Amino acid sequence: MTTKENFTMVATSKSGTESKITIRPFFNAKAENMGLENYGLSLFDGVKHQEQLACIEVNGISRYLTGLNEFAPEVKKLNPEQKSARIKQIRTIVADLEAELASNILDPEDKDFWNKVKLLKPDNQDFWNKIELTVGNAPTFINTSDPYDRIKLHAIEAGGFSLIAKSYEDAKARPKPPKFYLDKEEETVSSRTEYKKMRNKALSELQKLFDKNSTKLFYVAKVVDASSTQYKKSTSLDVMYENMDSYIHGDGVEGNIERAVTSFLDAVGCNMETLKIRSIVKDSSFFKYIVTKSDGHIYHNKKNVLMGRNVSDVVEFLKNPLNEDILDDLIKTCEKYWNT
């Protein structure tokens, strides 16, 4: 006979203001958010969001996204070694929580482990339906001494709350920015400083090009800027510098700052031959000196010669000494425009 346990969820007192794990609003200056982005805000003052733990129903069976379910698809698809380790980890966490919340002492190695679990069974709707979060502009501190906060932490990391990304990196990577993210101080600081180091390196490289290698700056600008044809040999260094500075800060055609920085550094890292050919390919495509035909391949328009399937193929094609005549033709036509 199955007995149903009665329980009362009691919020324990929190001295967790010293916690280094918090839920914070995620601010994205590039994402339109009812004008709040103009003031460095994610939410209107005083607004709070409340969300219940997510539940997926398939064929009448409910599955909560708790991060503590060894039968979840994300656990099943692991390789045998990883799966065994993950199951052991889940059972150890559940055993600790059961001991704290229900005075239920469990052995994670017990073959009947889940039959003896009282509260944290994957299908215990009475329990999981009461797991919810309320978040607002002020940081919400996660007190890891509180078992309910630990449950919420595991759920956030498993994607159990749609409003909250599991990390700062996850928040930045999402196509639609979330309202909040889980801030594990060291991880977030590391992520932010890594980006700043890359950005500062890109700015340093830009300054070097401006001071010592204006020709390479010209080609880099053509490669990374979508409007490559705006740059001619007569374009002032100050204009190229300003445009590349804006590009590095995410104010150009690439709004994602990290991708912009990476793209710029990748271009700077190319040798002059590759940069020049990439610039020629880009402008040649704009002026239809090379065209993509119905078969999906790129051709030299004048000679109708197959050059490749994509830009990388075309660059390698033009580097081949056997195709020097086509390269010379494209250089001649592009440089005629560049020198006007």
Q: What is the pLDDT of residues 74-85, one digit of tens each?
A: 999 999 999 999
Mean pLDDT of 32-53: 76
Mean pLDDT of 197-204: 90
pLDDT (0 to 100) of residue 267: 92
Confidence of residue 16 (pLDDT cuts 50, 70, 90): very low
Residue 3 has pLDDT above 80, yes or no: no
The answer to whether the pTM exceeds 0.85 is no
Q: Higher pLDDT residue, 8 or 59?
A: 59
Residue 15 has pLDDT above 50, yes or no: no
Residue with tokens 């409003």: 163
Report the share of the chain in percent with pLDDT over 70: 88
Q: Higher pLDDT residue, 314 or 6?
A: 314
pLDDT (0 to 100) of residue 38: 62
pLDDT (0 to 100) of residue 12: 40
CA 305 – CA 328 distance, rounded (Å):
14
Residue 241 has pLDDT above 90, yes or no: yes
204: left (phi over 0), alpha (psi -120 to 50) or beta: alpha
Confidence of residue 177 (pLDDT cuts 50, 70, 90): confident
pLDDT (0 to 100) of residue 174: 83
Could you tell me which residues come within 8 angstroms of residue 4 by beta carbon, excluding any fewer than 6 positions away? Answer: none
Q: What are phi and psi of 291, to 5 degrees?
A: -140, 150
Confidence of residue 35 (pLDDT cuts 50, 70, 90): low
CA distances from 284 to 71, 135, 164, 320, 335 (A): 55, 52, 45, 18, 11
| pLDDT tens per residue, range 249-298 | 888 777 777 788 888 999 999 999 999 999 999 999 999 999 999 888 99
pLDDT (0 to 100) of residue 84: 93
